[in-house]
């Protein structure tokens, strides 16, 4: 119990003392996850829409695989990315291992299935609404997908936020491919793991509180930004 209290206090001092290390790793956390989120959305949202609109033979299997990949343990993703990026691996020449880019790659792989699945779920419902109308209007495949993405944007925002949540709190994969190197690849979650390992519970907790605060802050900010153009309940 005293650890919690001390952690809260220490978090307070870290934040209000504008601790430079804290700021550095917090910003890195945000940068890595937001970049991964952006890339993942560019892949996953159209994929979700495509799966909703298009009936092809392997569709069920793609969806089943996506759903299965949602539960993929991050550390396994990390290992696979590690193997690919390691010096002797197929992409070793790029020299990406133990860089933020490697962490971004791993996070993209982790959150794409999640975002695509949620997006597909939501857009499938919208498509069953729109199906007759858009076909009647002779909308092309691309136009159908664009209509779904635009009109389903609230649901897609939820999908993106779920992806952000999974990314920002993820530790297994980025630990493996990033290496938790001070001033280079250390982020909030890996720092927490490190401090916990050293027995610095209060500091670890403090970082944890800050992580939670950032996650909540980003969610609120995005909801408020998107709320300005809202009318009606969807």
Partner 1 sequence: MSNLFPLSVEGALTRRRGRVLVGPVDLKLDPTGTTMVIGPNGAGKTSLLRMLHGIARLGAGRINWACEEHEAQRHQAFVFQQPVMMRRTVQDNLAYPLRLSGVKRAEARDRAAVWAGKVGLGAMLTRQATVLSGGERQKLAIARALIRDPELLFLDEPCSSLDGRATREIEEILHGVAEVGTRIIMSTHDMGQARRLGTEVAFLLHGKVHEFAAADTFFPAPATAQARAFLNGDIVE
Q: Is residue 96 classed as helix, strand or coil in its secondary structure?
A: coil
Q: Is residue 232 classed as helix, strand or coil in its secondary structure?
A: coil
Q: Contact with partner 1 (CB under 8 A): which of 58, 93, 132, 199?
A: 132
Specify whether the CB–CB gap between 71 and 117 falls below 8 A.
Answer: no
Chain-centre distance for alpha carbon 118: 13
Rounded to 5, what percent of the chain is helix, strand, coil?
Answer: 80, 0, 20
127 binds partner 1 (CB under 8 A): no
229 binds partner 1 (CB under 8 A): no
End-to-end CA distance of the chain: 42
**DSSP code at position 93:** G
Q: How far is the CB of 52 from partner 1 (least distance, A)?
A: 15
228 binds partner 1 (CB under 8 A): no
Q: Contact with partner 1 (CB under 8 A): which of 2, 17, 20, 136?
A: 136
Identify which of residues 18 and 132 has a Cβ nearer to partner 1 in the complex.
132
Q: How far is the CB of 131 from partner 1 (least distance, A)?
A: 9
Task: Count other C-beta atoms under 10 Å from residue 204's C-beta.
Answer: 21
Binding piece for partner 1, criterion CB under 8 A, among 54-62, 66-74, 92-100, 130-138? 130-138
d(CA 215, CA 234): 23
Largest CA distance in the chain: 66
Identify which of residues 45 and 147 has a Cβ nearer to partner 1 in the complex.
147
Q: Contact with partner 1 (CB under 8 A): which of 65, 90, 143, 226?
A: 143
Q: Contact with partner 1 (CB under 8 A): which of 126, 156, 176, 206?
A: 126
The structure tokens listed for 155 are 């649901």
194 binds partner 1 (CB under 8 A): no
Residue ranges in contact with partner 1 by CB under 8 A: 126, 129-130, 132-133, 135-139, 143, 147, 151-152, 231-232, 234
């Amino acid at each position: 119990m005293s650890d919690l209290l001390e952690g809260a206090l220490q978090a307070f001092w870290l934040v209000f003392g504008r601790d430079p290390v804290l700021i550095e790793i917090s910003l890195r956390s945000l940068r890595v996850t937001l970049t991964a989120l952006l890339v993942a959305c560019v892949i996953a949202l159209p994929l979700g829409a495509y799966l909703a609109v298009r009936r092809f033979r392997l569709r069920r299997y793609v969806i089943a695989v996506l759903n299965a990949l949602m539960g993929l343990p991050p550390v396994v993703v990390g290992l696979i990315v590690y193997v690919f990026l390691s010096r002797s691996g197929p992409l070793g020449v790029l020299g990406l291992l133990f860089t933020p880019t490697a962490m971004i790659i791993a996070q993209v792989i982790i959150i794409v299935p999640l975002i695509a699945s949620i997006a597909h779920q939501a857009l499938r419902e919208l498509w069953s609404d729109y199906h007759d109308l858009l076909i009647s209007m002779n909308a092309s495949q691309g136009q159908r997908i664009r209509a779904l993405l635009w009109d389903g944007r609230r649901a897609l925002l939820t999908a993106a936020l779920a992806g952000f949540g999974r990314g920002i709190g993820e530790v297994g994969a980025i630990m493996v491919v990033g290496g938790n190197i001070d001033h280079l690849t250390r982020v909030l979650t890996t720092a927490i793991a490190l401090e916990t390992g050293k027995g610095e519970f209060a500091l670890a907790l403090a970082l944890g509180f800050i992580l939670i605060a950032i996650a909540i802050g980003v969610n609120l900010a995005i909801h408020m930004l998107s709320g300005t153009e809202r009318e009606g309940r969807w």
